[in-house]
Amino acid sequence: MNISIVGCGSWAHYTHLPCIMKCEGVTVISCADINVENAKSLHEKFNIPLYFTDYHEMLEKTNPDAIVCLVSENAMAETASGILSLNYPVMLEKPPGKTVKETNMIFNAAKKSGKPHMVAFNRRFVPVYTKLKEMISDYAKNNGDGIKYINYRMHRIKRFDSNFEDTAIHAVDAVKFLADDDFKRVEIKYQEMPGFGKNIANYFIFFEFINGIYATAEILVSTGELYEGCEIHAGESIYRASIPMENSRINDGGIEYRNAEGIYYTVGRNEICPYSEHYMTQGFYNEHKHFYECLKNGTNPKNGADTAVQSVAVCNAIKNREHLVSF
Ligand SMILES: NC(=O)c1ccc[n+]([C@@H]2O[C@H](COP(=O)([O-])OP(=O)(O)OC[C@H]3O[C@@H](n4cnc5c(N)ncnc54)[C@H](O)[C@@H]3O)[C@@H](O)[C@H]2O)c1
């Protein structure tokens, strides 16, 4: 299968190309970036035969089977829907647009072309979370009791980007993925930190789901540790899970289980995923694998832009410092 890349920035170098190289039967034949240096540098580093500054020209000349779109956030909706309207399947990085309108634009372009598309929300493919969902689903089957409450934690170090909501979307979407349902109502509080820069804040979010699950998320921009994980209460059990994060100061990862009867066990990160590369432990390889398998089998990938609309709505509310989002 021949793949082309649109957007040759740091994430293409650091994450996507290394994991595409591991996907059997997949070859990157061309890449494009409006910045010629970035296109050339990806071409040189990964031996990609051809590079371009205009993706239209690249598609015309190299006619790939699918595109991986890794452009900057504010160019994503126009580029991804442009690719789909030229009838090419596309996997695109998050966020699928900055607003609900942009997200719908991508979904409508996919519907019109009939071509598969997928938003790369890697938390939905993190091996620790896949295992956690399996364990909770088994618990629900055996006990007739499911998730009551989720507490999600995203702790970062010196993340003073003015568009931090584009990273926070991972926590919002992960909570939704774990609860397996739609938001009914979301409340957000902001702890502004002018000392760190303009518009820099910690976010504290309360989620109410249609299925009755409650969740909270604490999203902290600069703490003493790089950490991401959750605590889930289901029936009289508690699950604590954390994603193995590269360069994490505590570098943990795995699942801990405890119930009201005192049963306690852990499932270690290596038992869940025996690899150490960040693109394996953080789900990037799995999402690529899923996309290419769907293309081979002629099935639609999970995770179209339609499944991202609520998460984008919440992050757009964060950007505008709104306190309440009702659906
Ligand atoms: N899943 C994750 O954890 C994660 C982490 C980092 C970045 N990302 C996402 O990956 C994407 C890329 O991020 P990055 O860190 O590589 O950014 P970056 O700024 O390093 O690279 C983006 C590239 O896109 C190019 N570009 C912009 N508009 C274009 C257009 N119209 N056509 C072709 N190229 C265009 C830019 O010139 C740049 O080279 C973003 O959507 C970002 O949100 C996801």
> What are the φ and ψ backbone dihedral angles of 113, each rounded to 5 degrees?
-80, -25
For 63, the enclosing helix (H) or strand (E) is none
* Nearest protein Cα to ligand 1, atom 18: 9
Atom of ligand 1 nearest to the CA of 78: 31
For the chain, residues classed under CATH 3.30.360.10 are: 124-284+310-326
CA of 9 to the centre of ligand 1 (A): 5
CA of 53 to the centre of ligand 1 (A): 15
* Nearest protein Cα to ligand 1, atom 11: 70
CA of 324 to the centre of ligand 1 (A): 29
The confidence score (pLDDT) of residue 138 equals 94
Cα–Cα distances in angstroms (integers) from residue 232 to residues 52, 150, 238, 241, in the given order: 47, 5, 6, 8
Atom of ligand 1 nearest to the CA of 166: 43
- Ligand 1 neighbours by CB, cut-off 6 Å: 6-12, 32-35, 38, 55, 70-73, 75-76, 79, 93-94, 122, 166
Tell me: domain 2-121+286-300, CATH 3.50.50.60, correct?
A: no
Q: Provide the token pair at 167.
A: 């990273």
**pLDDT tens per residue, range 31-50:** 999 999 999 999 999 999 99
CA of 132 to the centre of ligand 1 (A): 30
Name the CATH superfamily, with its identifier, for domain 124-284+310-326: Dihydrodipicolinate Reductase; domain 2 (3.30.360.10)
CA of 24 to the centre of ligand 1 (A): 25
Q: Provide the token pair at 315.
A: 């992050």
The confidence score (pLDDT) of residue 248 equals 67
Identify any residues that bridge with 232 across adjacent strands, giving them in sequence order: 150, 239
The CA distance from 149 to 133, in Å, is 14
The reported pTM is: 0.96
For the chain, residues classed under CATH 3.40.50.720 are: 2-121+286-300
CA of 223 to the centre of ligand 1 (A): 25
**pLDDT tens per residue, range 210-264:** 999 999 999 999 998 889 999 999 999 999 999 998 766 555 789 999 999 999 9
The confidence score (pLDDT) of residue 144 equals 86
**pLDDT tens per residue, range 81-124:** 999 999 999 999 999 999 999 999 999 999 999 999 999 999 99
- The length of the chain is 327
* Nearest protein Cα to ligand 1, atom 21: 9
Lowest mean pLDDT among 77-86, 171-180, 191-200: 191-200
Lowest mean pLDDT among 6-10, 176-180, 243-247, 285-289: 243-247
